[in-house]
Amino acid sequence: MKLFPRLGALTGALVLTLTLAIPAGAQAPVATPEALTILFTHDTHDHFYPDAAGVGGYTRLATALKEQRETAARDTAYGENGRATVTLDAGDFSMGSLFQTVYATDAPELRALGAMGYDAVTLGNHEFDYRPQGLADMLNAAKAYESYWEAQPSRNILPSEEELQMFGPYSGSLPALVQANYKTPKDPSAPGAQALAEAMENYPVTDYTVIEKPGHGGLADGDTLRIAVFGVMGVDSDDCAPMSGMALEPLADAAKRVVKEIQEKENPDYIICLSHSGTEDGKGEDYELAKAVDGIDVIISGHTHTTLDEPIQVNDTLIVSCGPYTQNLGVLTVGRSGGDGSIELHSYELLPIDGTITPDPDLTALAEGFKAKVDEKYLSQYDLGYDQVLARAEQDFTIPQTGDLIGNAYIQTVKELEGDSYVPIAFAVAPDGVIRGAIQAGEVTTSHAFDILSLGSGADGSPGYPLVSVYLTGKDLKNAFEVDASVSALMPAATLYGAGSCWRYNPHRMFLDRVAECQVTTQDGNIAGSIANDKLYRVVADLYSGQMLSTVKEKSFGLLSITPRNADGSEVTDFEDCIIHDGEGREVKAWYALAAYLKGAGAAEVQPVSKRADPSWNPAALLFPMGAPTALVLGAALVLILAVALIVRRVRRRGSRGYRPYRGK
């Protein structure tokens, strides 16, 4: 980047004009000594390796990070030390691959981030998937690893066999963990609450951290660039962590409190917020945060998996997002305005992490070490291996096709488990929100099957959501299909796939009254009969999806409701009582049901979709069969028409009496 000399007021004005005219992705023409390059990610979700489509992976990300730091160091336009860089992550670094199965025992995610040189990270909702005790165990495992190696006379020595058994490969220092508004237990006496509080103190997890980088003079603290970084969690993120047990301090309140403390105590050159709150369509919780709180220079926005091709500027704050799953590395360079010292965008780039990048050998060795831990500690109980081929797919699957295959896998697994005592399943549901990817053409391995259904943990604390069995009335089952047909347009995670039932809907019908026909199907896809309102039907889902069934009333504005029941018709009060166990008493995991189904079939075959859209503007198709929402709107319209008719009639009657002028006495 060229450093223009001052050639008088006219030249300065010209340079400023050109700077403002540069597009977001281009370099600014003025290099300032306090300029900072921020390398950032969010929602990486345990993606150590490229996904089934060959995208992303820590092994490639590590190479990209090294290259970006080297490029910045050589950029002498900013001074003899080049541009300062800081590397940050905005949460949800875990839960998305088989590596999460050793989350609590080996902390592979934090150790990988440390190995890649991350300076600071924050917690996302998925870091709480294994409940407070699971997060506590992970933090303690990470700290035990770091404490052990810090005590060694030389950290560059090769680990012994004993050390490899304990910790796996050496991976360097851990990143700072910052979290300001989501680390206080609601109930200190709840299971794991005290353990987590102690682990957060021991790690430690702090409101903010200050990172110092070499500068070039003229800075707030001489030649040292001081970057203050704090972390926060949003409302929706808290909603997505139903088992966290943590109290949420309001986002803006926490940010104002921390920014004020940083400004008063730390003399920062920059204040950066790692926010696991999100932006959607240019708005969202992080947009509102930037509007409400002054003093934040940059918000790295995680949680919503948003990809922002250009930063969003709100007042004097830049909001950036690079997308999930290590698909991109965000590279943001900022400086200070020569006038009022406000944040100034120099350049912004989303660097694709793809096959053009050579995997880093050190990260590859680290990943292989953790892979061995996964095989040993988790997959051995299922007689499976990380890279074991389960089946072959002749073509790429869509998410709907994958979802319907998952439904068939649930039914087949329960059917084989229960044998002669099998109770028919009317619907095995796989919502979009729990499906983390689709089956790709080629060999489908254990790791691929796990990646698709990788979320959560069971009542026993082991990785992966277990299957649950509940009962719904026919009316409630139809309401579930109505949520799919109506609410999913507003909330895509509520889109339903599965097997055992099918439904037909008209997207032009009244909102919350779009489903016209619901039927039970046989395992080969034939129609077995229509769903009756007053009959109980067995439904199988993963634990999280089962828990979400009862939230339909809220999501549908009170017009629909779903009440999960036991086989005797009584209401379910604890979904963990509905978990399906195998003959050895182990929870049947959703991911394992898929893996076993694929292994048994030997081939992943495209499934028929469980629903069909029948768009029609025919009045009969729009009105019948008529549900409560349509009847309500028609009734309100009829009342309005009658009211207007009465008003018109009264006006006409008055007019028919004629005009009689006042004549006085």
> Is 130 within a domain?
yes
The verdict on 400 and 506 lying in the same domain is yes
273 near 230, Cβ under 8 Å? yes
303 near 277, Cβ under 8 Å? yes
Q: Is the pLDDT of residue 330 over 60?
A: yes
- pLDDT value for 153: 61
> Over pLDDT 90: what percentage of the chain?
68
- pLDDT value for 2: 37
Q: What is the β-pairing status of strands 312-314 and 222-233?
A: unpaired
> Over pLDDT 70: what percentage of the chain?
88
Q: Is the pLDDT of residue 218 over 90?
A: no
Q: Which of 97-111, 150-164, 519-533 has the highest mean pLDDT?
A: 97-111
Number of domain units in the chain = 3
- Domain interval for residue 643: 629-656
Alpha carbons within 13 A on the beta-carbon side of 103: 30
Quote the Cα angle for 262-92-53, to 5°.
140
Cα gap 540→575, rounded to integer Å: 12
128 near 461, Cβ under 8 Å? no
- pLDDT value for 493: 81
- pLDDT value for 31: 54
Cα gap 107→115, rounded to integer Å: 12
What's the order of all strands across the beta sheet hosting 527-530? 527-530, 515-521, 501-505, 611-613
> Is 359 within a domain?
no
Dihedral angle, C-alpha 300, 306, 311, 315, nearest 10 °: -70
The verdict on 196 and 149 lying in the same domain is yes
Per-residue pLDDT tens for 438-476? 999 999 999 999 999 998 888 888 899 999 999 999 999
Per-residue pLDDT tens for 245-304? 999 999 999 999 999 999 999 999 999 999 999 998 889 999 999 999 999 999 999 999
- 14 falls in which pLDDT band (50, 70, 90)? very low
- pLDDT value for 408: 95
- pLDDT value for 169: 65
Q: Which residue has the higher pLDDT, 36 or 659?
A: 36
Partners of 463 in the beta sheet? 457
> Is 14 within a domain?
no
> Is 361 within a domain?
no
- pLDDT value for 656: 66
- pLDDT value for 222: 52
Task: Tell me the mean pLDDT in the region 642-657.
Answer: 83
Q: Is the pLDDT of residue 598 over 60?
A: yes
What's 208's domain CATH number?
A: 3.60.21.10
What's 588's domain CATH number?
A: 3.90.780.10
- pLDDT value for 650: 86
Q: Is the pLDDT of residue 662 over 70?
A: no
The verdict on 345 and 399 lying in the same domain is no
The verdict on 444 and 403 lying in the same domain is yes
Quote the Cα angle for 411-46-239, to 5°.
70
> Is 362 within a domain?
no
- pLDDT value for 664: 55
Q: Which residue has the higher pLDDT, 314 or 648?
A: 314
Cis bond before residue 625 (omega within 30° of 0): yes
- pLDDT value for 5: 36
Dihedral angle, C-alpha 604, 605, 606, 609, nearest 10 °: -100
> Is 234 within a domain?
yes
- pLDDT value for 170: 66
Q: Which of 27-41, 111-125, 480-494 has the highest mean pLDDT?
A: 111-125
Greatest alpha-carbon span in the chain: 120
**Token output for 201:** 């103190």
**Token output for 8:** 């008088």
Please report which residue ranges of 537-627 form alpha helices under DSSP H: 543-548, 552-555, 590-601, 619-623
Q: Is the pLDDT of residue 399 over 80?
A: yes
> Is 618 within a domain?
no
The verdict on 606 and 644 lying in the same domain is no
- pLDDT value for 489: 79
| Lowest-confidence segment of 17-26, 92-101, 331-340 by average pLDDT | 17-26
Burial 418-437 (b: 16+ CB within 10 A, else e): eeeeeeebbbbbbbbbbbbb
| Lowest-confidence segment of 146-155, 479-488, 520-529 by average pLDDT | 146-155
Q: Which residue has the higher pLDDT, 540 or 525?
A: 540
Q: Is the pLDDT of residue 167 over 80?
A: no
> Is 364 within a domain?
no
The verdict on 78 and 218 lying in the same domain is yes
- 216 falls in which pLDDT band (50, 70, 90)? low
The verdict on 571 and 650 lying in the same domain is no
Task: Tell me the mean pLDDT in the region 334-348.
Answer: 87
385: buried, middle or exposed (CB in 10 Å: 19+, 13-18, 0-12)?
middle
The verdict on 152 and 283 lying in the same domain is yes
The verdict on 582 and 647 lying in the same domain is no
Question: By 3-state DSSP, what share of the chain in percent is helix, strand and coil, each rounded to 5?
Answer: 40, 25, 40
Per-residue pLDDT tens for 360-397? 999 999 999 999 999 999 999 999 999 999 999 999 99
The verdict on 608 and 635 lying in the same domain is no
Q: Is the pLDDT of residue 498 over 50?
A: yes
- pLDDT value for 637: 87
How far is Cα of residue 291 from the mean position of the Cα atoms in its chain?
23
- 555 falls in which pLDDT band (50, 70, 90)? low
| Secondary structure element (H or E) that encloses residue 297, with its range | none
The verdict on 462 and 567 lying in the same domain is yes
Per-residue pLDDT tens for 37-88? 999 999 999 999 998 888 999 999 999 999 999 999 998 877 777 889 999 9
The verdict on 606 and 639 lying in the same domain is no
Q: Which of 23-27, 390-394, 556-560 has the highest mean pLDDT?
A: 390-394
332 near 27, Cβ under 8 Å? no
Task: Tell me the mean pLDDT in the region 231-243.
Answer: 93
- The per-residue DSSP string of 439-488 comes to --SEEEEHHHHHHHT---B-TT--BSPBEEEEEEEHHHHHHHHHHHHHGG
Any idea which residue has 């020569």 for tokens? 338
Q: Which residue has the higher pLDDT, 516 or 321?
A: 321
User: Which of 519, 517, 516, 514 minimizes the C-alpha distance to 556?
Assistant: 514
Residue 585's region, left for phi above 0, alpha for psi from -120 to 50, else beta, is left
Mean pLDDT of the chain: 88
Cα-Cα end-to-end distance for the chain:
95
- pLDDT value for 557: 66
Q: Is the pLDDT of residue 21 over 50?
A: no
User: Which of 256, 147, 606, 618 minimizes the C-alpha distance to 408?
Assistant: 606
- pLDDT value for 142: 94
Q: Is the pLDDT of residue 155 over 70?
A: no
User: Which of 94, 288, 261 minimizes the C-alpha distance to 180?
Assistant: 261
